[in-house]
Structure 1
Amino acid sequence: MSDEEYDYESLGSNTTMTQNAFAGALAGIAEHCAMYPVDSIKTRMQVIGSTATKAVQQQPVTLRNLWKGVNSVVLGAGPAHALHFATYEYCKEYFGANASGHHFVSSAGAGACATLAHDALMNPFDVVKQRMQLRDSVYKSIRECAHSVYTKEGLAAFYISLPTTLVMSVPFQSIQFATYEFFRKVLNRDGPQYDPKTHVIAGGLAGAVASSLTTPMDVVKTLLQTRGSSQDAQIRNVKGFREATGIIMSRYGIRGFFRGFKPRVLTHMPSAAISWSVYEYIKWVINTRNITQQKEKDFVSL
């Protein structure tokens, strides 16, 4: 069997779901951890009606403080991104996005399917993460935070933002995957091969475009996920997307939907570059190993 029969970009069909999931898990953990402090700043900027006392507000923001809740991300991002990328590879192959040329709809569709699987698993971890990211957070561990949220607000608190998350994440990931595939093919005209520089640039551009267009939905999501920590009765009792949108609009107008815009873009641009770079690298390593193993099998069978 010749090398040409092993297409790097069709990893999803040449490897097991476990291998795709493993690559995705490493990419997800690397992505979220690398830019976590900036994400914490973004969350604090988006929170409406902060409950922090004057004494808390005057406390200096330390790097250590900005890492609070990162354990929740590591715990959730591994399995969630494993499911995410495994689903993406399967759907990309199924929808025909691996064929030569640009396939925006197929890539976007694969990204949307992957997002549905990812967010259903990740949402509770994201709620805990954002509660711990608040400047006035008193939680010392993710277990303590999760227990407190469940005791005071019930299981629904972990999923009240899921519809809004999906409304934001599906277009976000669809835009990101389609944009990434487009720039990857434009920047690397030599065909499907591993090129670190291409993956970094294409990933960064995809993250910047997707995060810019979906910031308004992220602001709404943050309000819903942190409502239980607010002393503002209207925010604490908000029931869903429509009420949250009304609060933001009435208090800040259109500008309110772009709170935290800069740190969000500054988070997603490098994090997407890191995620895609790690993922494509792991794909390359796995594919190289598969080619070597197949050559050994073919040699033995001769």
Structure 2
Amino acid sequence: HGLLVSFPGSVVKQRMQMYNSPYRGLWDCLQTVTRTEGIGAFYRSYSTQLTMNVPFQAVHFITYELMQEQLNPHRHYYPGSHIVSGAAAGAISAAITTPLDVCKTLLNTQENVALNSVNISGHLSGMANAFRTVYRLGGLPAFFKGAQARVIYQMPSTAIAWSVYEFFKYFLTKQQQLQQEARRM
């Protein structure tokens, strides 16, 4: 499973992006976290990531299909409709799953300032604990910190992904039709 292999990279990235990150680089972060917290630290938010991927992908595909129904009901190759539908799908999916992303980030970074402010010593683990901690840190608004940035990040990537997908689907379908016509002749 690709997520299982790539997941430590996400943890390292987030820890290095923290304000006043104590890590000098990639290897320093990997070694320090492994030495001080164990290999499990890289998978502390794994269940949250999996839980986030299911609703993200479901909302993503449903939104894309609903948008295509409105903008392109005959399902022709119209790049503009694919771009708009893909961007909307990414935006809505990102917005809806931001609370899970906030919890994942807290689990990955183990931000001491945040944990100390709610009297948590040691390491935070588990999705339920992350949800409780985020709520204690800032109530419901805390679950949507960074939502705008997440939406803005997702929109172009999903717009591009859907556009490329639809282009290749169109291109390959046309090639197949041309080959079938050539065989008939």
What's the TM-score once normalised by structure 1's chain length?
0.53
Matched, 1:286 2:172: yes
Aligned to 2:91: 208
CA displacement at 1:118 relative to structure 2: 5.7
Query: Is 1:184 aligned with 2:68?
Result: yes
Shift in CA distance, 283/167, structure 1 to aligned 2, threshold 3 Å: same
Shift of 1:144: 4.4
Q: Which residue of 2 is the match for residue 45 of structure 1?
A: none
Identity in percent: 38
Structure 2 residue aligned with 1:226: 109
CA distance, structure 2, for counterparts of residue 247 and residue 290 of structure 1: 55
Superimposed CA distance per residue, residues 29-64 of structure 1 (whole angstroms, 9 cap, x where no aligned partner): xxxxxxxxxxxxxxxxxxxxxxxxxxxxxxxxxxxx
Pick from 3, 14, 18: which aligns with 1:134? 18
TM alignment of 1:19-30, pairs within 5 A: none
- List alignment gaps of at least 5 residues for structure 1: 1-116
Shift of 1:207: 1.4
Distance across 1 between alignment mates of 2:55 and 2:140: 20
Instruction: Map Cα deviations across residues 263-293 of structure 1 (whole Å, 9 max, x no partner).
Output: 1122222222122122222333333344444
Query: TM-score when scaled to structure 2?
Result: 0.82
Q: Is the 8 A contact 1:230 1:236 kept in 2?
A: no
Matches within 5 A, 1:105-254: 119-137=3-21, 138-141=23-26, 143-189=27-73, 191-227=74-110, 230=112, 232=115, 234=120, 237-254=123-140
CA separation of 1:216/1:237 partners in 2, compared to 1, >3 Å: closer, same or farther? same
Q: How big is each residue's C-alpha offset from its partner over 1:212-251, in whole Å with a ceiling of 9 and x where there is no partner?
A: 2221111111100111x63655275112112222222122
TM-superposed deviation, 1:199: 0.7
- Paired with 1:139 and 1:294, the residues of 2 have a C-alpha distance of 59
Alignment of 1:262-301 (within 5 A): 262-296=148-182, 298=183
For the Cα contact (< 8 Å) 1:201–1:273, is it kept in 2? Answer: yes
C-alpha RMSD of matched pairs (Å): 2.5
Classify 1:290/1:152 alpha carbon distance in 2 versus 1 (closer, same or farther; 3 Å): farther
Distance 2:56 2:138 in 1: 24
Contact 2:107 2:124 survives alignment (8 Å): yes
